Amino acid sequence: MNKRERMEALFNQRETDYVPAGFWFHYPASYTVEQHLEGHLKLFYETDQDIIKLMDDNFGHFLTKDVHIEKAEDWRNIQLPGRNCEHYKNMEALIRGAVEKVGQEAMIFPTMWSPFKIASFTYVFGGSSDEVFMKHCEEDPDSVLAGVKAIADVLEDWVDGFMEAGADGLYYSGQFSEPARFSAEIWEKMVKPFDLQILDRVHTWENKYNIVHICGEAEHNFTASPERYVGYPGDLFNWDVHRDQLSLEQGRECFNKPVLGGLDNHGILIQGSLKDIAEETKHIIRKFGKKGFMLGADCTVPADIDIERLKTAIQAAREM
């Protein structure tokens, strides 16, 4: 199998010749599109991993950069630029560059932040805070929802643009399921509908796939609620198996889909010896099995990680 065939088999829950793998990290804020592309290709070729996951990093001009929210009802009157903004243009250029360089060799998945996370960026990058955002969600949820819906409508169109540019699907960062943020009932109303709006759009395209990453923020000890994502239209699921109290095996049963992960991006992958990493990788695969599994980490790894650590894990998976 080549890399594309291997991932196609994984997504369709067929046997693969060996366990595919992928790791990623964030890039410096100063990077241009060209530097981002160079960095992604360098990681891909140095590790020989199976996909390219394009980071949505530090392009600065987020979709909502001109939106200023002082009170919750301000969300009802926001104006968004659609594809006519630097954020979208940079992501599209990055996708097209990756497709041109390695699209025949490997599948390419651009990252998309959830609409709710983009809404939170409006506060964090606008001189306010996540705490104020959560306060607005509590005080006037309908106004916040009007704004998040407007963001979701734009991102839904961005999905089409990403697929038109040649992406093989989406790496979707599902967020705000930390237990301390919203109850399950409120989350179902505030967050889930907009996740589904984006993910369902991807599946309107033939042979395009959703990788659903369930992410907990540092201020919440990286914990999330992966069980809330059961039934999502994902083709591959990733969560923090070391902090979310849901093992790989339990996740396989919950989602009834292939899973990605296994290695602790705060633990053995960073702190252990190369021998430790190889042994842990093989232990994970022996316990889970090869079918329906892609080796990776709970979340991004540090940007300064020794690439030999990633190469060791990937090679160990291939030896199984």
In the CATH hierarchy, which fold is given to the domain comprising 3-318?
TIM Barrel (3.20.20)
How would residue 95 be classed by pLDDT, with cut points 50, 70 and 90?
Answer: very high
Residues 112-125 have a mean pLDDT of 92
Summarised one tens digit per residue, pLDDT across range 152-184 is 999 999 999 999 999 999 999 999 998 889 999
Q: Quickly count: other Cβ atoms within 10 Å of residue 99's Cβ.
A: 16
Quick check: 80 pLDDT over 80? yes
Rounded CA gap, 20 and 43, in Å? 15
The percentage of the chain sitting over the pLDDT mark of 90, rounded to a whole number, equals: 89
Rounded CA gap, 317 and 320, in Å? 6
CB 236 within 8 A of CB 258: yes
pLDDT at 79: 94
pLDDT at 112: 96
Residues 100-110 have a mean pLDDT of 98
How would residue 217 be classed by pLDDT, with cut points 50, 70 and 90?
Answer: confident
pLDDT at 300: 95
Residues 202-209 have a mean pLDDT of 99
Starting from the edge strand earliest in sequence, which strands make up the sheet with 169-174, in order? 51-54, 107-113, 169-174, 209-214, 236-238, 259-263, 293-297
pLDDT at 137: 97
Quote the mean pLDDT of the chain.
95
Summarised one tens digit per residue, pLDDT across range 12-54 is 999 999 999 999 999 998 899 999 999 999 999 999 999 999 9
Quick check: 61 pLDDT over 70? no
Per domain, the residue ranges of the chain are 3-318
DSSP structure string for 143-186: HHHHHHHHHHHHHHHHHHHHHHTT--EEEEEE----TTT--HHH
CB 277 within 8 A of CB 254: no
**pTM for this prediction:** 0.97
Residues 190-212 have a mean pLDDT of 98
